[in-house]
Amino acid sequence: MPRIAVTNPTFGLVPHVKEELVARYPGAKFNTEFEIPQMTEDWLIGFLKGCEVAVIGVEKYPEAVISSLPELKVIACCSVGVDHIDPAVLKKYGVRLGWIPGVNKVSVAELTISLMINLLRKVGTFNLGLRSGQWPKSRLGLQLRGRTVGIHGCGHVGKELVRLLQPFGVTLLACDRVDYADFYREHGVSPVSPQELWERSEVLTIHLPKNSSTIGMYHAGVLDRLRPGVFLVNTARGQIVDEAALKERLEDGRIAAAAFDVYSREPPATPLLAQLLQLPNFFGTPHIGGSAREAWEAMLRAGIRGITENAVPEPGVYPFD
């Protein structure tokens, strides 16, 4: 029986899944500290000392931690994104990674559709007006039905979004480095280049992983290539979109509105992000894409599976490419 330490505190919020882990691994110990900044390197080393498996959330395990834990053999990850994992460090010390992609795809896809409708119908703007005692003279918005929706990244979440959008009668464009030809044919999706995606999409939603090829991808030059008046949604990861450039284009109307669930810094405690969040045509949520209870359960169970289903990660190879 492996010695297991669970640094992901979310198990405490879903006790029946915690019981599933304890039933399989009776000696597992659990962290109850929710503030990730308090999980210092020294704290992690002390908590994990003598353990062979760490079941983690989004907390980082730098080389200083890994090198101090010679008995650690597996990191089982409950998160869907792995941008907080350094594959080179794990490979250097022979630590295996347990990770299952896409387990929160329904939750993220549902939020994405809600944000699209929110922007098109100006729900957030009208809500703020009502709170301040204003009744708008014009309550005009747009329907999602019949729009051209572009999906940048058609992996697990992108495909689920395509499925959920079927009843809306939208024109679907998708851009991905992988050719999902059979899926596209089955669901009426037109595969396009990035350039065509940016030029044609009335609603553009980003579902890319955060890695060296996507960080900063949506810089000012790309934002200027988007269809004028586009509605932009990002429920993927922060740092993919240049937030300063986005703010400028929201202010002058080149981008009609944007809804983001993710930011370059979380919580978004910078002057720029504070200003962005105050714009009437920007709607922000606090990284809740995967926060449906069902998604939490799926991610925690993925972490349990990762205890036995794992491999040494390879830098430059999916999902670290």
Q: Which of 180, 172, 178 is nearest to 201 (CA)?
A: 172
What are the backbone angles phi and psi of residue 53, rounded to the nearest 5°? -135, 135
* CA distance linking residue 154 with residue 175, whole number of Å: 7
* CA distance linking residue 303 with residue 100, whole number of Å: 8
What pLDDT does 160 receive? Answer: 98
pLDDT reading at 16 higher than 80 = yes
Helix axes 105-120, 156-165, angle to 10 degrees: 50
pLDDT reading at 319 higher than 90 = no
Does the domain at 105-284 match CATH 3.40.50.720? Answer given as yes
Cβ-proximal residues to 31 (8 Å cutoff; 6+ apart), any chain: 5, 6, 7, 8, 9, 39, 47
At residue 259, the 3 state secondary structure works out as strand
Read off the pLDDT of each residue in 144-164 and give the average, rounded to a whole number. 98
The more confident residue out of 217 and 38 is 217
Nearest 5°: CA angle at 201, between 196 and 205? 110
pTM above 0.75, yes or no: yes
Mean pLDDT, the chain, integer: 95
Count H helices, E strands: the chain?
13, 12
With cut-offs at 50, 70 and 90, classify the pLDDT of residue 321.
confident
* C-alpha distances out from residue 315 to 86, 111, 236, 281, 308, Å: 8, 31, 21, 39, 21
- Domains of the chain: which residue ranges? 4-103+292-306, 105-284
* CA distance linking residue 189 with residue 179, whole number of Å: 12
The more confident residue out of 58 and 91 is 91
What pLDDT does 126 receive? Answer: 94
pLDDT reading at 39 higher than 90 = no
Q: What is the CA radius of gyration of the chain?
A: 21
Placement of tokens 């297991």 in the chain: 4
DSSP state of 150: E
CATH superfamily of 4-103+292-306: NAD(P)-binding Rossmann-like Domain (3.40.50.720)
What pLDDT does 212 receive? Answer: 87
* E-state strands within the chain: 4-6, 29-30, 53-56, 74-77, 96-98, 148-152, 171-175, 189-191, 203-206, 230-234, 255-260, 282-284
Active site residues: 237, 266, 287
What pLDDT does 36 receive? Answer: 61
What pLDDT does 81 receive? Answer: 86
pLDDT digits (tens, 9 = 90+) for 296-309: 999 999 999 999 99
pLDDT digits (tens, 9 = 90+) for 205-256: 999 999 889 999 999 999 999 999 999 999 999 999 999 999 999 999 999 9
Written as six digits, the tokens of 179 are 């050719």
Cβ-proximal residues to 256 (8 Å cutoff; 6+ apart), any chain: 119, 229, 230, 231, 281
- Topology match between the domains 4-103+292-306 and 105-284: yes
**The sheet that has 53-56: what strands, in order across it?**
29-30, 4-6, 53-56, 74-77, 96-98
With cut-offs at 50, 70 and 90, classify the pLDDT of residue 112.
very high
With cut-offs at 50, 70 and 90, classify the pLDDT of residue 35.
low
